[in-house]
């Protein structure tokens, strides 16, 4: 018999007592006629079937389901990036002393060129003096110095191992991010002049940003990713080249080696990767030390070739340190 109403359909599931006293539920067989699709049920009608619904959820339901995804917080495994510094005018640190001076002398094996003195370095007057800076450690591990030197020995480097140091910018800041690009670029010609005056065999660029400034000034454009490389640069990139003429003695310039930054704030490379880059310079410096007869304990007998000028060197170092 056909079921004519929704109420009639429910009668199939009514409970009734059996003669034996047990309560049973009436159900239809698979052969019974299905429920009619046209009933007078209101909007609260629900399907009796327990099978998963294939009906597309309403817009309101979809919005609620997507809400947790839209407002989800970032994954806890991602570390928050350190905020980079912004430009700081010279007046910001004008109240602090800047006691750092260049450590230079004629005909050194290598002069290290840093960005600028940090606040601790400026106050103490010794290069790379912050405990987190890896400069002295990398110099030793690479072979540039046969032992681990202290920051307080920075002005002894010319006499000890024919090494020196200077910076592309002289004013002190918390970090290099507080310098302007113009300041960096203006320091390029100053470096060129220092190389022409002291004529070292090589210079070590301590950090990619310094080399980027040199490249911008020399080539008038930004260095390309395929053009940048750590290590020795082409001979045409030598610093302090003297062309000769007007009585000037021609000089081929100082070879350029680009090394990684040693700042403890820079985390772009792992320590072993930095060591690998620095080792290329250290092996060359070690070879030059042996050629000059410089003992591992240190002590340069003659810095200016052919002049026997130990006294001249001491005088020049004193000038640079004053």
Q: Is 165 helix (H, G, I), strand (E, B) or coil?
A: strand
Residue 144 has what pLDDT? 98
Q: What's the CA gap between 258 and 277, in Å, rounded?
A: 9
Question: Residue ranges of the chain with pLDDT lower than 70?
Answer: 1-85, 266-267, 300-322
Distance of CA 287 to CAs 109, 139, 143, Å? Answer: 10, 14, 10
Backbone region of residue 280 per phi and psi (left: phi > 0; alpha: psi in -120 to 50; beta: other values): alpha
Q: Hey, which residues does 100 pair with through a beta bridge?
A: none
Query: Sign of dihedral through CA atoms 28, 29, 32, 36?
Result: positive
Say what the pLDDT of residue 46 is: 47
Helix or strand holding residue 317 (H, E): helix 310-321
Question: DSSP class of residue 249?
Answer: P
Q: Which two tokens stand for residue 47?
A: 């399907």
């Amino acid at each position: 018999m056909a079921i004519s109403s929704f109420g009639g359909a429910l009668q199939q599931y009514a409970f009734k007592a059996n003669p034996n006293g047990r309560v049973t539920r009436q159900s239809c067989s698979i052969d019974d006629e299905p429920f009619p699709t046209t009933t007078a049920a209101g909007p609260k009608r629900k399907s009796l079937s327990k099978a998963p619904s294939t009906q597309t959820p309403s817009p309101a339901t979809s919005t609620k389901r997507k809400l947790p995804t839209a407002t989800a917080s970032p994954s806890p495994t991602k570390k928050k990036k350190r905020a980079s510094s912004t430009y700081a005018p010279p007046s910001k640190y004008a109240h602090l002393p800047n006691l750092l001076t260049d450590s230079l002398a004629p005909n050194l094996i290598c002069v290290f060129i840093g960005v600028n003195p940090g606040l601790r370095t400026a106050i103490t007057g010794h290069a790379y003096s912050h405990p987190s800076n890896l400069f002295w450690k990398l110099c030793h591990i690479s072979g540039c110095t046969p032992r681990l030197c202290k920051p307080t020995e920075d002005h002894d480097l010319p006499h000890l191992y024919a090494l020196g140091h200077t910076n592309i910018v002289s004013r002190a800041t918390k970090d290099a991010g507080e310098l302007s690009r113009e300041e960096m670029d203006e320091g390029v010609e100053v470096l060129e002049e220092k190389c022409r005056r002291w004529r070292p065999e090589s210079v070590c660029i301590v950090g990619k940003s310094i080399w980027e400034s040199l490249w911008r000034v020399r080539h008038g454009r930004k260095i390309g990713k395929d053009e940048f490389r750590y290590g020795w640069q082409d001979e045409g990139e030598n610093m302090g080249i003297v062309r000769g003429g007007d009585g000037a003695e021609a000089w081929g310039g100082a070879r350029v080696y680009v090394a990684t930054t040693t700042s403890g704030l820079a985390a772009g490379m792992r320590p072993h990767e930095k060591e690998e880059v620095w080792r290329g310079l250290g092996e060359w410096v070690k070879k030059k030390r042996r050629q000059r007869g410089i003992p591992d304990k240190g002590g340069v007998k003659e810095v200016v070739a052919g002049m026997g000028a130990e006294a001249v060197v001491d005088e020049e170092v004193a000038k640079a340190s004053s």
